[in-house]
Amino acid sequence: MIKTSRLRFETGGSTDFVDLTARLQEIVAASGLREGRVHLQSLHTTLAVTINENEPLLLADFEALLERLAPRSVAYQHDDFANRVGILPDEPVNGHAHCRQLLLQPSATLLVEDGRLVLGRWQSVFAVELDGPRHRELALQLEGEAGASDRNRDQIRLELARQLMADPEPIGAPMRRLVESGGKRLRPLLVMLTAHVGPRFDSLRAGVLAAAVELIHNATLVHDDYVDESPVRHGAATVAAAEGPERAIAVGDYYFAKGTRLIAELGEPAVSLTIARAMEAICRSQIDDLALRGRYPGDREGYLQVVQGKTAALIAASCVAGAQLAGAGDHTVARLGRYGELIGIAFQMADDVVDFSDHSGKPLGQDIRMRTVSLPLIYASEDRVAGAEVRRLLAAEPREEDIPRVVDLVRSSGAVERASGEARRLAGQAVAELEALDGELDGVRSHLVQLATSAVDRLV
Amino acid sequence: MIANRELEGIEFLWETGLGERFDAYRSETAAPEPLVLAAALVETALVEQRLGAGVADPAPLLVADLCLARSSRLLAESASQPVQVEFARAVEAAATAAAEGGALPIRPRLLAILRAAS
């Protein structure tokens, strides 16, 4: 297989090291590439690509090195607009940035094994901004052997493209941007896999259901991004940030309704009811989530209530709906639903843990800034030694200078290990649910096990 | 009599417009009560969201989303497939009008669906 795409992102400073590792891992996972290579190429003459360690002081050293080698303050002929020809009205003074890029590389090739980027423990992939802040773009080519689930992923991609093609432009364009920006597509993949578990597998109908579930999921994200004031998702501007909140509300409504309609048109009442109940659970927990931020970081019981609704409900419903569409028996449907709920919670717990890792690809402690419910924070707040200080620091909106201290307290309290262990335990229980269906999962069992494992394989 | 669970978490909306809308739909059609409530929930959701008329604050938006989801669940439990499809198309049309800078009153369309379902 060969797949091409673009990775778009915003840079934040005149010199900026943008860690793309997590997004590239997601792109590889979503592509279905199992063994092969990813080629990255900068589409700009003042943006480089490099692989190095994401350690803030080291990044400051790199910036200082670039300043010594090609100082901003010296004269460059490129900046001599009196003698240069073809000067644009907004021509930047950036001779130093071009010279710095000459010292770096405009491209990189990364190896992929077993569906994951091959990177050493301390290696992160960076785009190096040399003349920012700007909107930037990298060209990607993924080539190699696709996994068995690649056919399902291709079908999901094609069905989503088909559904989005027909929508009115003011609605469809922002959703296409969101859909094309990446994401794991876990829910539609679960629909496709579980739609094999029953006597009535129909690839086309399963594809429609999978796309509808993904559209509904994305509709909730569009509204979430407005509520959370998030400017960026998967490196692309959110609808609320780019087109404004009014449009974001309309886009979310449209795709919630369209997803619901596509499912109704399948003519399977049980499937419609499954997804509708999950949507209700999501909306209830989003209200709970907002309320919980007032007594941040909350407790484990409140956390589970939010996560079961906000994350796990639609993942579980995807498993249930796929199996219902295929006419699977009640026992099988119930087991798959339990499997989905467990991996949904495990995924969220692993996300929480990764927020305290130096290699998450996001600013460290982002959940603290956003007051997002987080299991390690809850455990740290209950710790006998660190708890009082964590609770005091989180009692009000956290100051930026307090965030490293909270991160240190969470790490030193053992809360990260405790949450990691819990996520792994849930992933193991999810696999155990599948074992009870031995003989009914021919052809999809290994994929479902792999998805459960992938929920926690980010945890060190 | 509407079951308590259908208003759980949105009880306060009954006094601020949902109840009135429910009565309006009920007085003009003979549709079953769950469908009438579903229509009132959809209209209330779009009002709370200020769809096509401005921007809702986050809290009312989330409440409105719950109204839409509950309406969808009520329809999945009680309505025929064509009614579910037409309700969804009505919301799609209202959202499209809002995205294009206009506003489309949803009540006439929902009433037509309810009358056809009566």
Asked if A35 has any chain B CB less than 8 Å from its own CB, the reply is: no
Least Cα separation, residue B9 to chain A (angstroms): 8
Strand order across the A116-117 sheet: A2-10, A135-146, A33-42, A107-113, A116-117
Provide CB contacts within 8 A for B95, sequence distance 6+. A171, A250, A251, A253, A254, A257, B51
- Measure the CA–CA gap between A279 and A309, rounded to whole angstroms: 9
User: Residue A3: what pLDDT?
Assistant: 84
* Residues A442, A409 share a domain: yes
Asked if A279 has any chain B CB less than 8 Å from its own CB, the reply is: yes
Asked if A250 has any chain B CB less than 8 Å from its own CB, the reply is: yes
Residue A15 near residue A57 (C-beta atoms within 8 A): no
* Residues A443, A340 share a domain: yes
Query: What residues in B contact A276, CB-CB < 8 Å?
Result: 69, 72-73, 75-76
User: Residue B24: what pLDDT?
Assistant: 97
Nearest CB neighbour to A258, from listed B51, B62, B92: B92
DSSP letter (8 states) at residue A41: E
Task: Please name every residue paired with A136 in a beta bridge, in sequence order, or none if there are none.
Answer: A9
Residue A63 lies in a domain: yes
8 Å CB contact of A251 and B66: no
Residue A203 lies in a domain: yes
Q: Could you write out the DSSP letters of every residue in A56-93?
A: HHHHHHHHHHHHHHS-TTS--GGG-TTT-SS--TT---
Least Cα separation, residue A403 to chain B (angstroms): 26
Instruction: Name the residue among B110, B105, B108 with its Cα closest to residue B88.
Output: B110
Query: What residues in A contact B54, CB-CB < 8 Å?
Result: 246
pLDDT in tens, chain A (460 residues): 788 888 988 898 899 999 999 889 888 877 778 789 999 999 999 999 999 999 999 999 999 999 999 999 999 999 999 898 888 888 899 999 999 999 999 999 999 987 889 999 999 999 999 999 999 999 999 998 776 567 788 899 999 999 999 899 999 999 999 998 878 899 999 999 999 998 999 999 999 999 999 999 999 999 999 998 888 888 788 999 999 999 999 999 999 999 999 999 999 999 999 999 999 999 999 998 888 777 788 899 999 999 999 999 999 999 999 999 999 999 999 999 999 999 999 999 999 998 888 766 567 777 888 788 899 999 999 999 999 999 999 888 778 888 899 999 999 999 999 999 999 999 999 999 999 887 888 778 888 998 998 888 777 5
Domain ranges, ordered by start, for chain B: 4-117
> In the listed set A146, A166, A184, which residue is the last one of a domain according to the structure?
A146
8 Å CB contact of B66 and A283: yes
Domain count, chain A: 2
Provide CB contacts within 8 A for A449, sequence distance 6+. A431, A434
8 Å CB contact of B92 and A257: yes
What do you get for the CA distance between the two ends of chain B, in Å?
18
Query: What residues in A contact B104, CB-CB < 8 Å?
Result: none
Residue A130 near residue A101 (C-beta atoms within 8 A): yes
Instruction: Name the residue among A231, A371, A291 with its Cα closest to residue B66.
Output: A291
CATH no. for residue A415?
Answer: 1.10.600.10
- Measure the CA–CA gap between A265 and A226, rounded to whole angstroms: 30
**Residues in B lying within 8 Å of A, measured between beta carbons:** 9, 46, 49-52, 54-56, 58-59, 61-63, 65-66, 68-70, 72-73, 75-77, 81, 84-85, 88-89, 91-92, 94-96, 98-100
CA distances from A426 to A339, A430, B50 (A): 9, 6, 41
User: Residue A360: what pLDDT?
Assistant: 62
8 Å CB contact of B66 and A269: no
Task: Please name every residue paired with A8 in a beta bridge, in sequence order, or none if there are none.
Answer: A137
Residue A87 lies in a domain: no
Nearest CB neighbour to A227, from listed B46, B58, B68: B58
Provide CB contacts within 8 A for A442, sequence distance 6+. none
- Torsion angle (degrees, nearest 10) of CA A229, B54, B34, B108: -150
Instruction: Go through chain B and tell me how many residues it has.
Output: 118
- Measure the CA–CA gap between A30 and A21, rounded to whole angstroms: 14
The two beta strands, A236-237 and A33-42, are unpaired
Query: What residues in B contact A252, CB-CB < 8 Å?
Result: 65
Residue A11 near residue A127 (C-beta atoms within 8 A): yes
What is the separation of C-alpha B71 from the centre of its chain, rounded to a whole number of angstroms? 6
Print the SS3 string covering A316-329: HHHHHHHHHHCCCC
8 Å CB contact of B88 and A282: no
Provide CB contacts within 8 A for A359, sequence distance 6+. A19, A21, A22, A54, A124
* Residues A54, A184 share a domain: no
Asked if A411 has any chain B CB less than 8 Å from its own CB, the reply is: no
The type of residue at A214 is E
pLDDT tens for B8-35 read 999 999 999 999 999 999 999 999 999 9
Residue A124 near residue A51 (C-beta atoms within 8 A): yes
* Closest alpha carbon within chain A to B98: A250
What do you get for the CA distance between the two ends of chain A, in Å?
30
* Residues A174, A44 share a domain: no
8 Å CB contact of B76 and A265: no
Residue A356 lies in a domain: yes
For chain A, give the longest Cα–Cα distance. Answer: 79
- Measure the CA–CA gap between A140 and A197, rounded to whole angstroms: 35
Instruction: Name the residue among B70, B65, B85 with its Cα closest to residue B34.
Output: B70
Residue A96 near residue A71 (C-beta atoms within 8 A): yes
Residue B22 near residue B37 (C-beta atoms within 8 A): yes
- Measure the CA–CA gap between A91 and A401, rounded to whole angstroms: 37
> In the listed set A146, A163, A186, which residue is the last one of a domain according to the structure?
A146
Q: How many CB pairs under 8 A join A and B?
A: 124
Query: What residues in A contact B68, CB-CB < 8 Å?
Result: 253, 256-257, 283
CA distances from A130 to A94, A104, A153, A248, B7 (A): 9, 10, 36, 33, 56
Query: Which residue is listed with tokens 């990044």?
Result: A59
CATH no. for residue A10?
Answer: 2.60.120.460
Provide CB contacts within 8 A for A267, sequence distance 6+. B81
Query: What residues in A contact B109, CB-CB < 8 Å?
Result: none
Provide CB contacts within 8 A for A235, sequence distance 6+. A7, A8, A9, A10, A23, A181, A182
* Residues A256, A129 share a domain: no
Residue A295 lies in a domain: yes
> In the listed set A130, A146, A162, which residue is the last one of a domain according to the structure?
A146
- Measure the CA–CA gap between B106 and A354, rounded to whole angstroms: 44
Which helix H or strand E contains A251, and what residues bound it?
A: helix A245-265
User: Residue B78: what pLDDT?
Assistant: 96
Nearest CB neighbour to A258, from listed B58, B68, B88: B88
ipTM over 0.85: yes
* Residues A128, A217 share a domain: no
* Residues A161, A135 share a domain: no
Residue A453 near residue A445 (C-beta atoms within 8 A): no
Domain that includes residue A103, residue range: 2-78+92-146
Residue B67 near residue B45 (C-beta atoms within 8 A): yes
- Measure the CA–CA gap between A318 and A320, rounded to whole angstroms: 5
8 Å CB contact of A247 and B99: yes
